[in-house]
């Protein structure tokens, strides 16, 4: 059974889209990360135009983040003040990112640009995650601790100006680093259709020293509003949000996430990170292959000679 996607201007199998959403939801539930970094490339693999894939992923991200953010807020795991600083930077980065998307789309270069961004970004993130997970697994087998972080250790971040007190996180730090982190994540949301949690969460833990129990909730709080802003801007500026496509993906994602959460409870943290790193690198390799392989249909501009 096929359904017509009005913004993407193409027909796709409903079962395939539901399966894609369920697979990404399963991975999200399994690893505890947003599926934006997977759903955008998968949509591109099926022929959905890159701008539509990015805009629709942002719309799906809003729905998938709201329930998690509400649950974390009820548990008092959201630092609203810190989240507002992150959000301020995120909105700025989102506006800049959407404008860049608009310009690149007019130039006809956005498809290549987004593929290069994913290859570079997923390659770096996947490699770092793979190295870290392998080290942790080896240390755990030797009986050592996988964490090298020292409690109370300060870094150059604590010497920056414009300091603010974040009571929920028990921090007194400069507002500049969280603003810049938020701006970078907002830029990623606009350019790549991702939530940026795999950047924000490590940055908040290791750079800002935010308590782990507050990190996830605060990250989700910021993601909801930044993804919503990215969705509105994509829809208004370049009309690239396909609500029909987003709804089908959301439906499949909700179902898949439940099974993923159950499966994730059976594995250790370092094993989950190892598997996630493998998936990230596989997507990276597939995108890189598409950039260098000779396409099946070659087009050329030439002068046609009409016989008299």
163 three-state secondary structure: strand
Indicate whether 92 pLDDT > 90: yes
Q: Which of 13-17, 32-36, 182-186, 194-198 has the lowest mean pLDDT?
A: 32-36
182-225, pLDDT tens digit by residue? 898 888 878 877 766 667 777 787 778 888 778 777 887 888 88
* Positive/negative CA dihedral, 298, 301, 303, 307: positive
Is the full-model pTM beyond 0.95?
no
105-140, pLDDT tens digit by residue? 888 777 788 878 878 877 887 787 788 778 877 877
Alpha carbon of 35 to those of 109, 142, 158: distances in Å?
Answer: 25, 33, 33
Using the structure block, give the residue that is written with the tokens 């750079």. Answer: 207
Residue, of 141 and 156, whose pLDDT is higher: 141
Average pLDDT over residues 160-183: 84
H-type alpha helices, the chain? 14-31, 36-45, 50-74, 80-107, 110-141, 176-192, 197-202, 212-238, 243-264, 269-292
248-261, pLDDT tens digit by residue? 888 887 777 677 66
């Amino acid at each position: 059974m096929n359904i017509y996607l009005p913004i993407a201007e193409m027909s796709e199998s409903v079962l395939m889209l539901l399966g894609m959403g369920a697979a990404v939801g399963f991975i999200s539930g399994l690893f505890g990360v947003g599926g934006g970094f997977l759903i955008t490339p998968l949509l591109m693999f099926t022929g959905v135009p890159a701008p539509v894939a990015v805009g629709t992923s942002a719309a799906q991200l809003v729905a998938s983040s709201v329930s998690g953010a509400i649950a974390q807020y009820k548990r008092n795991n959201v630092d609203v003040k810190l989240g507002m600083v992150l959000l301020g930077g995120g909105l700025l980065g989102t506006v800049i990112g959407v404008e860049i998307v608009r310009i690149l789309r007019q130039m006809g270069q956005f498809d290549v640009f987004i593929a290069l961004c994913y290859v570079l970004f997923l390659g770096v993130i996947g490699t770092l995650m793979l190295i870290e997970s392998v080290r942790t697994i080896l240390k755990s087998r030797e009986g050592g601790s996988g964490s090298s972080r020292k409690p109370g250790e300060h870094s150059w971040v604590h010497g920056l100006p414009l300091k603010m007190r974040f009571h929920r996180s028990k921090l007194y730090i400069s507002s500049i680093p969280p603003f810049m982190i938020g701006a970078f994540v907002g830029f990623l949301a606009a350019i790549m259709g991702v939530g940026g949690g795999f950047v924000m969460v490590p940055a908040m833990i290791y750079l800002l020293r935010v308590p782990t129990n507050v990190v996830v909730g605060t990250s989700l709080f910021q993601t909801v509003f930044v993804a919503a802003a990215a969705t509105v801007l994509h829809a208004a500026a370049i009309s690239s949000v396909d609500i029909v496509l987003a709804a089908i993906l959301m439906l499949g994602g909700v179902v898949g996430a439940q099974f993923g959460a159950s499966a994730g409870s059976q594995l250790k943290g370092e094993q989950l990170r190892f598997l996630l790193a493998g998936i990230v690198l596989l997507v990276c390799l597939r995108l890189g292959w598409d950039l260098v392989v000779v396409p099946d249909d070659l087009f050329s501009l030439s002068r046609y000679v009409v016989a008299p």
